[in-house]
A and B are shown apart, each in its own frame.
Chain A
Amino acid sequence: KAGVTQTPRYLIKTRGQQVTLSCSPISGHRSVSWYQQTPGQGLQFLFEYFSETQRNKGNFPGRFSGRQFSNSRSEMNVSTLELGDSALYLCASSLGAGSGNTIYFGEGSWLTVV
Chain B
Amino acid sequence: LAKTTQPISMDSYEGQEVNITCSHNNIATNDYITWYQQFPSQGPRFIIQGYKTKVTNEVASLFIPADRKSSTLSLPRVSLSDTAVYYCLVAERGSGGYQKVTFGIGTKLQVIP
A residues at B contact (CB < 8 Å): 4, 31, 33, 35, 42-45, 48, 50, 55-56, 58, 88, 90, 92, 94, 97-108, 110
Seed contacts A55-B96, A102-B49; 16 additional CB < 8 Å A-B pairs: A33-B99, A33-B101, A42-B104, A43-B87, A48-B98, A55-B95, A92-B43, A92-B101, A98-B98, A99-B30, A99-B91, A100-B91, A103-B101, A107-B43, A108-B42, A110-B41
The closest CB in chain A to the CB of B94 belongs to A56
**Shortest distance from the beta carbon of A67 to any chain B beta carbon, whole Å:** 16
Give the contacting residue for B46; candidates A55, A104, A106; CB below 8 A: A104
B55 to A: closest C-beta gap in Å: 12
Residue of B nearest to A55 (CB): B98
**A56 and B43 contact, CB distance less than 8 A:** no
In the assembled complex, how far is the CB of residue B32 from the closest CB belonging to chain A, in whole angstroms?
A: 5
**Complex contact A56–B106 (CB within 8 A):** no
The range of chain B's interface size is 20 to 34
Q: Report chain B residues within 8 Å CB of A108.
A: 41-43
The answer to whether A56 and B99 touch (CB under 8 A), given A42-B105, A99-B31, is yes
Q: Is B25 an interface residue (CB 8 A)?
A: no
Question: Cα distance A35–B113 when bound, in Å?
Answer: 34
27 example contacts (A-B, Cβ-Cβ < 8 A) are as follows A33-B101, A35-B101, A42-B104, A42-B106, A43-B44, A45-B103, A48-B99, A48-B100, A48-B101, A55-B96, A55-B98, A56-B94, A56-B96, A58-B100, A97-B97, A97-B98, A99-B92, A99-B93, A100-B30, A103-B91, A105-B36, A106-B43, A107-B42, A107-B43, A108-B41, A108-B42, A110-B41
**Docked complex Cα distance between A94 and B104 (Å):** 20
